[in-house]
């Protein structure tokens, strides 16, 4: 197995940590680049609304189907190798996508980008944990957990500003250059890290063993389920917020997108705050329970027709800010609850698989409840229920902590 870069130095190599986090951020650009350009893509390729939805959702489906497998491959074949492969796949997908003459081919390239995204999000945090000094792991992983809201909100802010004279094909081409250059930077910046030298047959056998051990360990399964309750709420609220703002408050689509981007960006300080609180000794399960309670309460306020716009939007911002405690607590827990130190990426994969399940389930179920329940006021039934499940599952994590089924800290 890959021994991984151990942190024997007195200090955590923070420039290297930030380089690894940056790989996640540029990868998240590929998630955020599609929504602002969806109208242009549909007009250019004659794409139906159904296929356009898959342009957005294919990342989630791939993560749902292959999350654990990607993590096990990373543990068996090497985190650095899979991280570079992931960036290369996304670069190739973005380049071919910019040339796609038809909707089906663009969708295929988005699937390639999704595979690359999955490879990055399971390999990079494992490397972050390995190069960090033990006392800095919580902070380092909380910084990592910001990658998705940071990358997605950045691209959501900048694309409308840069889109004057810039079509979606040009945007895909720009992202190809960003990914290719970043892959070269990462290749050079991580060249000093130890390599893996196991034979391919032994590696493939190890993939199955790693999957079985991780999937039967209580910590990874519990973390994946907790993360599912979070992503179900997060994507359901964020995904339909522009529609809510347009329908109930008469905002233009452009202004609704800006308000949504601000909400997404609020998740970043929440993630950082979660890492700081964990570093200060607050127990992980308590942060998860608190975040779940606040998100559940905010969901009631967000969809309450009796409240003014300012109050409802403030609830959105609070939902995102305090909700950021939850990914910081779950994504940063993989090194602590992995069955062994060399199963961190497999555990990351299982957690991400749970998160993708929540994202796949949340929006369509919320849409069904709203359409059948008489409007947005029925949305809290789903969201508050998921929040309550998060609180209950956090108590299960507390039991594991009490039994000592984790390796580092709280």
Band of pLDDT at residue 3, cut at 50, 70 and 90: very low
Q: Over 70: is that where the pLDDT of 146 sits?
A: yes
Band of pLDDT at residue 356, cut at 50, 70 and 90: confident
The domain limits of the chain are: 14-189+197-403
Encode 135-147: b = buried (16+ Cβ within 10 Å), e = exposed. ebbbbbbbbbbbb
Q: Over 80: is that where the pLDDT of 299 sits?
A: yes
Average pLDDT over residues 348-358: 81
Q: Over 80: is that where the pLDDT of 88 sits?
A: yes
pLDDT of residue 198: 52
Q: Over 90: is that where the pLDDT of 180 sits?
A: yes
Structure tokens that stand for 289 in this block: 């329970």
Q: Over 50: is that where the pLDDT of 155 sits?
A: yes
Q: Over 90: is that where the pLDDT of 104 sits?
A: no
Whose CA is closest to 344, among 257, 214, 222, 149?
A: 214
Top-level CATH class of 14-189+197-403?
mainly alpha
φ and ψ at residue 265, rounded to 5 degrees: -65, -30
């Amino acid at each position: 197995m890959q021994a991984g870069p151990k942190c024997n130095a007195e200090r955590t190599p923070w420039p290297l940590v930030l380089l690894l986090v940056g790989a996640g951020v540029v990868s998240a650009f590929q998630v955020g680049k599609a929504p602002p350009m969806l109208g242009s893509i549909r007009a250019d390729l004659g794409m139906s609304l159904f296929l356009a939805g898959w342009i957005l959702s294919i990342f989630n489906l791939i993560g749902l189907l292959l999350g654990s497998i990607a993590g096990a491959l990373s543990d068996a074949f090497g985190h650095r190798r899979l991280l570079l492969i992931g960036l290369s796949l996304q670069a190739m997908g973005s380049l071919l996508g910019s040339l796609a003459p038809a909707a089906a081919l663009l969708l295929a390239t988005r699937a390639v980008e999704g595979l690359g995204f999955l490879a990055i999000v399971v390999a990079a945090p494992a490397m972050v944990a390995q190069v960090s000094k033990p006392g800095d792991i919580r902070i380092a992983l909380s910084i990592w957990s910001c990658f998705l809201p940071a990358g997605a909100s950045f691209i959501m802010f900048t694309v409308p500003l840069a889109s004057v004279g810039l079509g979606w094909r040009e945007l895909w081409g720009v992202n190809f250059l960003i990914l290719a250059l970043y892959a070269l930077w990462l290749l050079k910046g991580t060249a000093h890290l130890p390599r893996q030298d196991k034979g391919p047959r032994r590696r493939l056998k190890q993939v199955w063993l790693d999957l079985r051990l991780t999937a039967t360990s209580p910590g990874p399964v519990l973390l994946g389920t907790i993360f599912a309750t979070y992503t179900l709420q997060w994507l359901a609220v964020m995904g339909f917020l522009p529609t809510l703002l347009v329908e109930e408050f008469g905002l233009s689509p452009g202004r609704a997108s800006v308000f949504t981007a601000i909400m997404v960006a609020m998740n970043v300080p929440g993630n950082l705050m979660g890492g700081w609180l964990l570093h200060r000794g607050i127990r992980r399960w308590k942060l998860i329970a608190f975040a779940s309670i606040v998100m559940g309460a905010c969901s009631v306020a967000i969809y309450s027709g009796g409240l003014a716009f300012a109050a409802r939007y403030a609830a959105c911002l609070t939902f995102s800010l305090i909700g950021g405690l939850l990914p910081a607590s779950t994504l940063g827990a993989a090194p602590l609850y992995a069955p062994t130190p060399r199963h961190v990426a497999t555990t990351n994969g299982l957690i991400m698989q749970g998160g993708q399940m929540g994202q796949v389930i949340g929006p369509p179920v919320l849409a069904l409840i709203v359409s059948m329940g008489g409007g947005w006021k029925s949305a809290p039934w789903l969201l508050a229920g998921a929040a309550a499940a998060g609180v209950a599952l956090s108590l299960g994590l507390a039991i594991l902590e009490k039994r000592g089924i984790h390796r580092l800290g709280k």
